[in-house]
Amino acid sequence: MSDDAPTPPSSPGPDGQIVQSAATDWARRARAAAECADALRAADRAVTAVAAANHFGECTEGSGMQSALIPALHEWQTQLAAQAAHLTDLARSCAAAHTTFVDTDHQLAGGASE
């Protein structure tokens, strides 16, 4: 961390170790995962456009190439969709962690002033 960056809240863990967390880091991670999921979905749409037409020509070789390419493109799309779904889940988990840290900080701050 730079010298001018705020120090994240810290608290002793169950074993006496100091635990630090910055809720804003979790919000940033959630945004990054969501943005990557969106980019993978855009790539999936681009692959659909590529697969929709024969770019190799209307000849025996071109039709054969297109026929051979389609299963590979569909497999790639399956992988893109799976990774996008994983990143969406990760974004939700990071957002939940952010909320948990913020709520805990507020609870501890409220408990300390009572």
Q: pLDDT tens for residues 54-71?
A: 888 899 999 999 999 999
| Average pLDDT score over residue span 87-101 | 94
Token pair recorded at residue 22:
């910055």
Going by pLDDT thresholds of 50, 70 and 90, the confidence category of residue 13 is: low
Q: Are 33 and 88 a contacting pair, CB within 8 Å?
A: yes
Full 3-state SS string of 4-35: CCCCCCEEECCCCCEEECCHHHHHHHHHHHHH
Cα distances (Å, whole numbers) of residue 2 to 5, 6, 101: 5, 9, 22
| Average pLDDT score over residue span 88-107 | 90
Residue 16 or residue 24, greater confidence: 24
3-state secondary structure of 55: coil
pTM above 0.85, yes or no: no
Strand extents, DSSP E, the chain: 10-12, 18-20
Give the dihedral of Cα atoms 69, 73, 76, 82; nearest 10 deg: -150
